[in-house]
């Protein structure tokens, strides 16, 4: 009989004035992942958070329309079941969320603390977001009052965030898994980094007045834009691949003019994956109807003249589909489309290529995963995807699974999440091997979803480690004008990218804009 494992005693310390909706969510996650008895202590702290409260109240009215946010204040009664007992135990782990961290803990207590651009506490997070965008998040770790080291770090995506309150929620949603990871890494005696130290500005009432006026104006502008234009409107670019002149060889978008795959205007096309079968080329892509906001998978076959034909829908589910990743195995063609709303990563087999597909298996269940990308490398299969747990951005948290066969069983990487980084976590197409090195295209979402495309060299990929280096970042340019760029694929015969443009809902204006942003237009 196995000896019964001791229950981890954990404490979350938070300033009474910063008791927000996210704190009990953190406690629940730690209780689940650590098998811990988690208690919450309310401590004293900075008394003047009126500027932040004013800012959050303004956003609640203008942006959030009183929808619940993780930054919302909660009453002490809502954490009564986790309140610290009078006779407190000796804690194994303390998660300290305060700005003032002068308390001395017992030598054998692991103290974890989130830092935002090197500073601690909720006010530091809010100020970092208010003045400079997403902060560099670090989880410092120390035994007792010993020297702190950084055990986990990352940068959250703000692509889905509205205002500072929404951004705080996005960051906190990534702080939680980073705290879990820091605990695991510290216990494994992994190599830790020294913490950064940076100055933090303070939010003032004058700042908020200017911010409020700007926020109202921006909200009105966005509403007008959505009224007049399809937002966003993605389009697919393709060209014949020429050895030595493709994107992977040049590390830029030159080397030949891109052609735009014609769309019907009230649909957009994105996530193109070219595929060759029996000597013919096909282009699979996401096909989204602007009226419903739901994507399906369509295909266009290339004719004898070398041009793609009309789009044909080949796969539809009750949920949104995109990113039709394709792989051939023992003569069969399989598709692993993005279907995050289903809570699964599923694989489909072509029963009558290219139009007939049947769901064959669920590779990973119970996960909100996007853009699963598989490669055979080093004697096993690897699957890369970004994951989230219902909150925060869609593009910053990289998870990897590995298997001995395409149909699994798929095992999660021991270091998941491997990355929390809005610049280089999300897959952007097929991985390639060039000059013996493994490369992956990645989405750079630092300035918004799909804003740029990175070319990342994979330096380490084992069941216990992962490392990559982004060598090049590509953005829309003269060769591919528009507003965004977020997918790169090729099959040796055809090379594809995509991006978004302004697409007015009025057909006359739409034609003018399309000509203005056509590749090669002067």
Residue 351 and residue 317 share a domain: yes
3-state SS of the chain: helix, strand, coil percent to 5? 20, 40, 40
SS3 state of residue 176: helix
- In this prediction, the residues of the chain whose per-residue pLDDT falls under 50 are 1-4, 189, 508, 522
Which of the 8 DSSP states describes residue 18?
Answer: G
Q: Of 147, 170, 203, at which residue does a domain stop?
A: 203
Confidence (pLDDT) at 306: 87
Residue 170 and residue 230 share a domain: no
Confidence (pLDDT) at 1: 42
216 within a domain of the structure (yes/no)? no
Confidence (pLDDT) at 7: 83
Confidence (pLDDT) at 3: 44
197 within a domain of the structure (yes/no)? yes
CATH number at residue 373: 2.115.10
Q: Summarize pLDDT for 458-480 with one digit per residue, the tens.
A: 999 999 999 999 999 999 999 99
Dig out the tokens for 89 from the structure: 């135990």
Residue 69 and residue 98 share a domain: yes
Helix (H) or strand (E) holding 149, with range, is: strand 149-154
> What's the rounded Cα separation, in Å, for the pair 21 and 445?
27
DSSP output for 79-130: GGGGBPPSS----SEEEE--S-------TT-EEEEEEETTB-SHHHHHHHHH
Confidence (pLDDT) at 305: 81
Question: Residue 92 in contact with residue 9, Cβ under 8 Å?
Answer: yes
**Residue whose pair of structure tokens reads 């994956």 in the numeric block:** 273
Residue 198 and residue 288 share a domain: no
450 within a domain of the structure (yes/no)? yes
Cis peptide before 417 (omega within 30 of 0): yes
Range of the domain at 154: 8-203
SS3 state of residue 78: helix
Residue 175 and residue 84 share a domain: yes
Residue 361 and residue 303 share a domain: yes
Q: Please report the beta strands in 201-279, taking only residues with DSSP state E, as ranges in sequence order.
A: 229-240, 259-260, 267-277
Residue 280 and residue 171 share a domain: no
213 within a domain of the structure (yes/no)? no
CATH number at residue 57: 3.40.50
Q: Of 170, 203, 236, at which residue does a domain stop?
A: 203
Confidence (pLDDT) at 522: 46
> What's the rounded Cα separation, in Å, for the pair 329 and 347?
12
CA dihedral (89, 95, 98, 103) positive or negative: positive
Confidence (pLDDT) at 514: 58
148 within a domain of the structure (yes/no)? yes
SS3 state of residue 386: strand
Instruction: Give CB contacts under 8 A, 24+ apart, made by 212-220.
Output: 212/58, 212/62, 215/58, 215/59, 215/62, 215/63, 215/163, 216/62, 219/62, 219/63
What's this model's pTM, rounded to 2 decimal places?
Answer: 0.89
Residue 117 and residue 18 share a domain: yes
Confidence (pLDDT) at 26: 97
310 within a domain of the structure (yes/no)? yes
Residue 161 and residue 45 share a domain: yes
470 within a domain of the structure (yes/no)? yes
SS3 state of residue 439: strand
Helix (H) or strand (E) holding 312, with range, is: strand 312-315
Nearest residue to 392 (alpha-carbon basis) of 96, 154, 119, 174: 174
Counting the structural domains of the chain, the total is: 2
Residue 230 and residue 160 share a domain: no
Residue 244 and residue 134 share a domain: no
Buried b (16+ CB within 10 A) or exposed e, 225-246: eeeebbebbbbbbbbebeeeeb
Question: Residue 396 in contact with residue 131, Cβ under 8 Å?
Answer: no
Residue 228 and residue 168 share a domain: no
> What's the rounded Cα separation, in Å, for the pair 20 and 40?
12
Confidence (pLDDT) at 2: 45
> What's the rounded Cα separation, in Å, for the pair 498 and 247?
13
Confidence (pLDDT) at 204: 59
Nearest residue to 174 (alpha-carbon basis) of 445, 364, 438, 389: 389
Question: Residue 410 in contact with residue 347, Cβ under 8 Å?
Answer: no
């Amino acid at each position: 009989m196995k000896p019964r494992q001791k229950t981890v005693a954990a404490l979350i310390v938070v300033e009474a004035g910063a008791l927000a909706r996210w704190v009990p969510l953190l406690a629940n996650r730690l209780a689940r992942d650590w098998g811990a008895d988690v208690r919450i202590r309310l401590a004293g702290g900075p008394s003047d958070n009126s500027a932040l409260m004013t800012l959050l109240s303004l956003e609640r009215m203008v942006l959030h329309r009183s929808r619940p946010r993780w930054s919302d204040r909660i009453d002490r009664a809502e954490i009564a079941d986790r309140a610290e007992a009078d006779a407190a135990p000796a804690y194994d782990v303390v998660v300290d969320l305060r700005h003032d961290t002068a308390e001395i803990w017992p030598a054998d207590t692991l103290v974890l603390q989130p830092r935002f651009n090197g500073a601690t506490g909720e006010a530091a997070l809010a100020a970092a977001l208010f003045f400079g965008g997403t902060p560099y998040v670090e989880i410092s770790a120390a035994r007792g009052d010993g020297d702190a080291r950084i055990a986990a770090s990352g940068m959250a995506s703000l692509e889905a965030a509205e205002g500072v309150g929404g951004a705080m929620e996005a960051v906190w949603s990534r702080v939680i898994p980073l705290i879990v990871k820091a605990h695991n890494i510290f216990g494994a005696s992994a190599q830790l980094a020294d913490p950064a130290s940076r100055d933090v500005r303070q939010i003032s009432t004058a700042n908020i007045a200017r911010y409020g006026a700007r926020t109202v104006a921006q909200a009105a502008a966005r509403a007008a834009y959505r009224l007049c234009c399809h937002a966003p409107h993605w389009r697919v670019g393709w060209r014949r691949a020429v050895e030595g002149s493709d994107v992977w060889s040049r590390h830029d978008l030159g080397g030949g003019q891109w052609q735009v795959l014609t769309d019907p205007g009230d649909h957009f096309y994105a996530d193109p994956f070219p595929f060759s079968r029996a000597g013919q080329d096909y282009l699979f892509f996401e096909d989204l109807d602007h009226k419903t906001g739901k994507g399906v998978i369509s295909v266009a076959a290339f004719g004898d003249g070398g041009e793609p034909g009309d789009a044909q829908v080949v796969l539809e589910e009750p949920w949104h589909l995109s990113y039709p990743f394709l792989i051939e195995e023992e003569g069969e063609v399989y598709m692993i489309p993005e279907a995050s709303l289903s809570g699964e990563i599923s694989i489909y087999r072509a029963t009558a290529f290219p139009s007939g597909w049947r769901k064959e298996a669920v590779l990973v269940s119970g996960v909100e995963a996007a853009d699963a990308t598989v490669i055979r490398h080093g004697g096993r299969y690897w699957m890369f995807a970004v994951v989230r747990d219902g909150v925060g951005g869609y593009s910053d948290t990289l998870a990897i699974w590995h298997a001995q066969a395409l149909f699994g069983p798929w095992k999660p990487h021991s270091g998941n999440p491997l990355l929390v980084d809005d610049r280089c976590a999300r897959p952007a197409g097929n991985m390639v091997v060039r000059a013996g090195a493994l490369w992956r295209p990645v989405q750079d979402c630092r300035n918004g979803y799909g804003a740029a495309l990175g070319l990342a060299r994979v330096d380490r990929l084992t069941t216990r480690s992962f490392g990559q280096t982004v060598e090049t970042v590509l953005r829309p340019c003269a060769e591919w004008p528009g507003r965004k760029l977020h997918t790169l694929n090729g099959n040796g015969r055809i090379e594809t990218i995509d991006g978004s443009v302004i697409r007015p809902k009025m057909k006359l204006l739409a034609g003018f804009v399309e000509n203005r942003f056509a590749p090669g237009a002067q």
